[in-house]
Amino acid sequence: MKLAGGICCFLLLSLHGDSAQSAAAGSGRGGKERAGRGVPRKGPGRGARRPREPPTPALPLGAVHAVVPLASYPGEESSYSVLPGKKGQCSFGGMMMYDSAVWSPEPCVTCLCSSGRVVCDEATCPPRRCPRPFTPEGECCPVCSDSVFNRTSLGDGLDLSGDSLAPSEHVDPQQRASPRTATGRDRLLHRMEHESEEDDSGEKEGEKRQRKKSTERRQPQRARPEERTSEKDGKPSQEEEEYCWTSREEVEKEAHRSPKQESEEEEEEGEGCFSGGAQLPPLPSACSISDRKISCINAKLTKIPDIADPELRSLELIGNAISCLPDKAFQGTPNLERLDLRKNAISSSGISPRAFKDLKKLTHLYLDGNSLVEVPPALPPRLLELKINENSLQSLEEDSLAELQQLLVLELEGNRLSESNVSPLAFAPLRSLTHLRLGQNRFRIIPQGLPASIEELYVENNQIEEIKETAFNHTRNINVIVLHHNKIEEDRIDPLAWIHHENLESIDLSYNKLYHVPSYLPKSLLHLVLVGNRIERIPGYVFGHMKPGLEYLYLSFNQLNDGGIHPVSFYGAYHSLREIFLDYNELKSIPCGISRMTSLRLLRLNNNKIRRLRRERICGAENRDSRLEHLHLENNYISPKALSPYVFPCIRSHASIVLRPQKVK
């Protein structure tokens, strides 16, 4: 009997220890377990007895020195940039990605936002059998560049125009730079392209046959010794054929050109930007070639390289010294879908009116960091994304964007645009536009004539002083408005500016001139950012009209004190608020109303002037279980000696409470 009793006691002690460890570890786990704890539990019915729960262990007096710091829980807390994400967007690394966006968080990883879910793919590299493989900048997989790129840098190597290699000048196939397998970005983009292809089956079949023929021409198998023809019959071998990017007749013609003919052709070539006949040098060694993609980043190019490859889909020419785009700059790449010309020296006068004529399938064009003073003319009509950030745009005329009816994303940040040089009809043709970025310009009011399809508007870092009643009259689909770092005062926001919007869920008014939380906020608002203002008061019932209710409220770095938060300041949001940031204010106690919040998960009260902790402000008079997962009280004036061991009995895990360090009196 004694042995049996001892075993039972041992088992009970072990079970109790395991449950305690599980409870402590639960506060540091990831999203799935937190989401499980976040589901509201149904209360007991009328007349039913509430089940007895185990007593919550008391907070020890030395807990100030034992609490695990916030850094031990990476990725669990949100930041000011959290967005609701109810329109298919994805949150990644503190940024919101719109649906179908593709990005690379690391050189070898590509991520895709698909209906609110982030899908990442890691590139796999095939083995390379060459003497000196190397990995180009910004790429993941090594390439065999010892022969091709070194020869190219000398001017007698691979020229993608198809005119440079004669049959007698071929290099050893073992040293030839073979194309890389598709990276994760290519595979994800291919998946997106496949889903967005037109329904015309005849066109798709024709493109498929053309791609197959081109692949067979560019990547044939090596010929066996018995299959190679002799030099006597005058026919090139199959091994030589694998270097031909154009027809055999053109290569033979190139091989038999006389020096006199070459000199005559050189004299006929023009030196101007729009001459159209200038032959550019081959690709430099800094360029890399992969499956349907050429990347020349910081390659010291001064002109668009002469490339003849109908299969090319992506061309990156970032960080070069390109200053002009002539008429026939892209005639050899008619199927380009993505063109990246960021950080060059392209001016508006250097772009020919017919520069983009051959790019009928271009969907993504990036011109950030150039010297443009106006939007380029005759842009491809199939563009889905256009970025002209960090230029010197001085105007948007009525017809500047006239042909871009399919455009989804337009970014014009860091320019010289204002309401005086942007026509009210400039955005009218953009019937499909969903994302518009106009930050770091000179607007004093919300831009006029916003398209009805707009969903996200970014006008941060401007000089906006007021929001008129007519600002968002025709934007009933708008979901996100970002207005931080402007000059807006609460009495300059018209009461009818956005209160009746049914889809507006997120507003960022950080770093403006607000003295209290604005009234007449949208009924559908879920996410409100008011960081870095001069807010002294949260008016009563200011959130009372919202349905389903505010979920995220960020009021860090303001001037709130105890008298500025009333018992009814949070009325209407008691059952919806999930996160409240009140750090870096002048509070001397925990605000009233916190104990009534049934969905609250995160409360930041650090860096205030709190000296006394009142249990009822967190747990309420009923002392019901709190769902708080993070409570920050560090950098106040709380004395560990005066801390009651039962200060917050409603919080299950003491690891959720951060109390250290505290300020010295």
Nearest to 558 by CA among 612, 505, 607: 607
Q: What is the pTM of this model?
A: 0.67
In a domain? residue 450? no
What value does the mean pLDDT take over residues 100-129? 75
The answer to whether residues 73 and 103 belong to one domain is no
pLDDT tens track for 290-340: 888 999 999 999 999 988 889 999 999 999 999 999 998 999 999 999 999
- The pair of structure tokens assigned to 552 is 């995220």
Rg (CA), the chain: 32
Residue keyed to tokens 């919550």:
56
Distance CA 175, CA 597 (A): 68
For residue 489, give Cα distances in angstroms to 35, 77, 467, 521: 38, 30, 9, 14
The answer to whether residues 283 and 176 belong to one domain is yes
Task: Identify the pLDDT of residue 171.
Answer: 38
The answer to whether residues 113 and 250 belong to one domain is no
pLDDT tens track for 523-575: 999 999 999 999 999 999 999 999 999 999 999 999 999 999 998 999 999 99
Q: 305-344 burial string, b = 16+ CB within 10 Å, else e?
A: bbbebeebbbbbbbbbebbbbbbbbbebbebbbbbbbbbb
The answer to whether residues 62 and 110 belong to one domain is no
In a domain? residue 616? yes
Residue 34 pLDDT class (50, 70, 90 cuts):
very low
The answer to whether residues 647 and 579 belong to one domain is yes
Residue 448 pLDDT class (50, 70, 90 cuts):
very high
In a domain? residue 210? no
The answer to whether residues 67 and 161 belong to one domain is no
Distance CA 26, CA 647 (A): 21
Residue 11 pLDDT class (50, 70, 90 cuts):
very low
The answer to whether residues 552 and 633 belong to one domain is yes
Q: Are strands 143-144 and 133-134 parallel, antiparallel or unpaired?
A: antiparallel
pLDDT tens track for 239-265: 433 333 343 444 455 555 555 555 455
- The answer to whether the beta carbons of residues 161 and 304 sit under 8 Å apart is no
In a domain? residue 303? no
Q: What is the CATH number of the domain that holds 109?
A: 2.10.70.10
In a domain? residue 501? no
Task: Identify the pLDDT of residue 259.
Answer: 53
In a domain? residue 648? yes
Q: Which residue has the higher pLDDT, 302 or 85?
A: 302
Task: Identify the pLDDT of residue 19.
Answer: 44
In a domain? residue 406? no
Average pLDDT of the residues of the chain:
74
The answer to whether residues 629 and 544 belong to one domain is yes
The answer to whether residues 154 and 281 belong to one domain is yes
Q: Which residue has the higher pLDDT, 323 or 642?
A: 323
The answer to whether residues 636 and 542 belong to one domain is yes
Task: Identify the pLDDT of residue 54.
Answer: 37
What value does the mean pLDDT take over residues 349-361? 93
Q: Which residue has the higher pLDDT, 3 or 72?
A: 3
Q: What is the CATH number of the domain that holds 612?
A: 3.80.10.10
pLDDT tens track for 130-182: 766 767 666 677 776 543 343 333 333 334 433 333 333 343 433 333 333 34
What value does the mean pLDDT take over residues 389-417? 95
Among candidate residues 122, 140, 174, the one where a domain is terminated: 122
Distance CA 461, CA 194 (A): 38
The answer to whether residues 542 and 627 belong to one domain is yes
Residue 92 pLDDT class (50, 70, 90 cuts):
confident
Q: Give the domain extent around 111.
A: 90-122
- The answer to whether the beta carbons of residues 545 and 517 sit under 8 Å apart is no
Task: Identify the pLDDT of residue 257.
Answer: 56
The answer to whether residues 73 and 177 belong to one domain is no
Percentage of residues of the chain with pLDDT beyond 90:
47
In a domain? residue 383? no
* Number of domains within the chain: 3
pLDDT of 579 over the 70 cut: yes
